[in-house]
């Protein structure tokens, strides 16, 4: 990351001359870039275009088309991406920068034992790994006990202090009292445990939590519509319809969309009926519920990789084995939604598995029935639409921010090629080039 370091030094030197700090956008020397991959996949349609090039000017895409048709300004930096396909920067709509794989440290132990300061440093490292993997935007759905630290990580990235993707953050997330970990199940009842999210009971308390989180920087409100609260720890709805409605209405009043964790059919249905904007997981949702989502335009993030990962950690599953019951359930829900034309966004639940391996989710969606181009759309223009950011990024078109990635091979034909990034640019700033592989 030599180039980023240099920029940081330049910026620091500049700051000495101009004590009133420059805005983040002026932080980096952007200039003109001509990108010359073997082919360009723009997200407009399904086909990749051989022999196309992309011109970047001052952080935005200035032109895209056949290389010969582009007028190149004098002094533009040329980057040849031999054997590679240029795509829009990828988007993961379900991330947890403050978690790391559970086979390294169990979730309970991360939340109970790792100091928030340490978790924030880890999050910075995870953000870097994510960006260098070609993911230029993340929706981070809850710090899992690390308070509002995601807002600070987002600011540090926006200011150029650390490399990372654009973040849309949810801060603490909202859960029903005593429904979410750590504990209380399995711990002695006189222990006062820190919460993995903000606990509320009643519509008024739910509204207070939304207002607090929004005021402290939440771009999205995340709620847990169901969790392991049923008898014997079975997944069951947590909030009453009135509580759900209070959260959704207050969030919408404040201009924040709502993402709902929901794994059971009843939990998904209640969340959708309350008006949430996206459903996370949805493993147990049935056809009637997905039809309702299709009707209402509710987005769905299948998080298939989280299921495969926890199967590896806790169910002795190995890649290539016959899928576990939970994996089959998730795949079936995904196929129903896909068949009905539900709006499916790429959301992996990364953090459960290693940051930077986000490509595994588009690959899992293809393994369970999507075409490679459907999966690419889910991770680019469709994801941008779910974020309500389609006018800023998510495709390669003149006027959009220059958030771009290139992968060796052709992911529009072989989705696993997303595992091999060779170029990453965000806002017109290159973070990874063939000459500066990290």
| Closest listed residue to residue 116, CA positions, set 35, 216, 224, 196 | 196
Q: How far apart are CA 74 and CA 57, in angstroms?
A: 12
User: Which lies closer to Zn ion via its Cβ, residue 54 or residue 167?
Assistant: 167
In the complex, what is the shortest distance from the CB of residue 77 to Zn ion, in angstroms, rounded to a whole number?
38
Q: In the complex with Zn ion, which residue's Cβ is closer, 33 or 220?
A: 220
Q: Sheet holding 166-169: strands in order across?
A: 90-95, 135-140, 166-169
* Binding site residues, Zn ion, CB under 5 A: 349
Residue 36 in contact with residue 86, Cβ under 8 Å? no
Q: Which residue sits closest to Zn ion, CB atoms considered?
A: 349
The whole-angstrom distance between residue 252's C-alpha and the CA centroid of its chain comes to 21
- Identity of the residue, 349 or 361, whose beta carbon is nearer to Zn ion in the bound complex: 349
The single residue listed with the structure tokens 């995870």 is 126
By beta-carbon proximity to Zn ion, the closer residue of 243 and 349 is 349
- Residue 28 vs 137, nearer CB to Zn ion: 137
Q: In Å, what is the CA distance from 11 to each residue of 7, 26, 60, 159? A: 6, 9, 21, 10
Q: How far is the CB of 151 from Zn ion (least distance, A)?
A: 18
Backbone φ/ψ region at 247: left (φ over 0), alpha (ψ -120 to 50), beta: alpha
Round to whole Å and give the CA distance between 97 and 95. 6
CB of 346 to Zn ion, least distance (A): 14
Pair 334, 302: CB distance under 8 Å? yes
95, β-bridge pairs: 140, 350
Q: How far apart are CA 74 and CA 90, in angstroms?
A: 30
CB of 123 to Zn ion, least distance (A): 14
User: Closer to Zn ion at the Cβ: 142 or 428?
Assistant: 142
Strand partners, 176: 200
Nearer to Zn ion, 122 or 349 (CB): 349
Cα 144 to the chain's mean position, in Å? 15
| Tokens at 181, concatenated | 């970990």
Between 41 and 107, whose beta carbon lies closer to Zn ion? Answer: 107
> What's the closest the beta carbon of residue 260 comes to Zn ion, in angstroms?
11
Nearer to Zn ion, 49 or 256 (CB): 256
334: exposed, middle or buried (C-beta count within 10 Å: 0-12, 13-18, 19+)?
Answer: buried
Smallest separation, CB 280 to Zn ion (Å): 6
Q: How far is the CB of 27 from Zn ion (least distance, A)?
A: 31
Kindly give the residue spans of alpha helices, DSSP state H, lying in 260-380: 265-274, 287-296, 304-314, 325-340, 360-367, 372-378
Cβ at position 437, least distance to Zn ion in Å: 30
Nearer to Zn ion, 349 or 368 (CB): 349
| Whole-angstrom distance, CA of residue 39 vs CA of residue 50 | 4
- From the CB of 352, what's the least distance to Zn ion, in Å? 7
Cβ of residue 425: shortest distance to Zn ion, in angstroms? 28
Q: Which two tokens stand for residue 309?
A: 């990962």
From CA 379, how far away is CA 345, in angstroms rounded? 6
């Amino acid at each position: 990351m030599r180039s980023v370091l240099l920029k940081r030094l330049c910026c620091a030197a500049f700051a000495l001359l101009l004590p009133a700090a420059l805005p983040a956008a002026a932080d980096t020397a952007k200039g003109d870039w001509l990108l010359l991959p073997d082919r360009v996949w723009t997200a407009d349609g399904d086909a990749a275009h051989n022999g196309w090039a992309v011109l970047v000017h001052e952080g935005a895409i200035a032109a895209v088309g056949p290389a010969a048709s582009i007028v190149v300004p004098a002094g533009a930096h040329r980057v040849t991406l031999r054997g590679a396909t240029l795509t829009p920067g990828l988007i993961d709509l379900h991330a947890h920068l403050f978690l790391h794989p559970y086979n390294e440290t169990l979730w309970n132990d991360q939340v109970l034992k790792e100091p928030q300061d340490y978790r924030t440093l880890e999050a910075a490292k995870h953000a870097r790994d994510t960006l260098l993997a070609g993911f230029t935007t993340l929706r981070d759905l809850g710090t899992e006990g690390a308070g509002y630290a995601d807002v600070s990580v987002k600011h540090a990235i926006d200011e150029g202090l650390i490399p990372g993707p654009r973040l849309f953050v949810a801060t603490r997330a909202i859960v029903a009292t005593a429904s979410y970990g750590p504990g209380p199940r399995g711990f002695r009842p006189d222990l006062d445990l820190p919460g993995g999210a903000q606990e509320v009971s009643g519509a008024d308390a739910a509204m207070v939590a939304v207002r607090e989180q929004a005021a402290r920087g939440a771009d999205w409100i995340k709620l847990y519509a169901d969790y392991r609260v049923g008898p014997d720890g079975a997944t069951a709805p947590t909030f009453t319809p009135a509580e759900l409605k209070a959260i959704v209405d207050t969030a919408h009043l404040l201009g924040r969309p709502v993402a709902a964790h929901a794994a059971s059919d009843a939990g998904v249905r209640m969340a959708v009926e309350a008006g949430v904007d996206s459903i996370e997981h949805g493993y147990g949702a049935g056809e009637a519920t997905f039809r309702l989502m299709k009707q209402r335009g509710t987005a769905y993030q299948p998080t298939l990789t989280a299921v495969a990962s926890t199967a590896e950690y806790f169910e002795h599953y190995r890649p290539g084995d016959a899928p576990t019951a939970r994996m089959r359930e998730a795949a079936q829900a995904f196929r129903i939604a896909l068949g009905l034309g539900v709006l499916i966004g790429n959301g992996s639940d990364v953090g459960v598995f290693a940051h930077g391996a986000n490509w595994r989710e588009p690959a899992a969606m293809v393994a369970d029935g999507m075409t490679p181009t459907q999966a690419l759309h889910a991770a680019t223009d469709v994801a941008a639409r779910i974020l309500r950011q389609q006018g800023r990024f998510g495709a390669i078109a003149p006027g959009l921010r220059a958030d771009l990635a290139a992968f060796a091979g052709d992911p529009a034909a072989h989705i696993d090629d997303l595992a091999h990034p060779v170029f990453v640019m965000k806002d017109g700033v290159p973070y990874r080039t063939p000459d500066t592989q990290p």
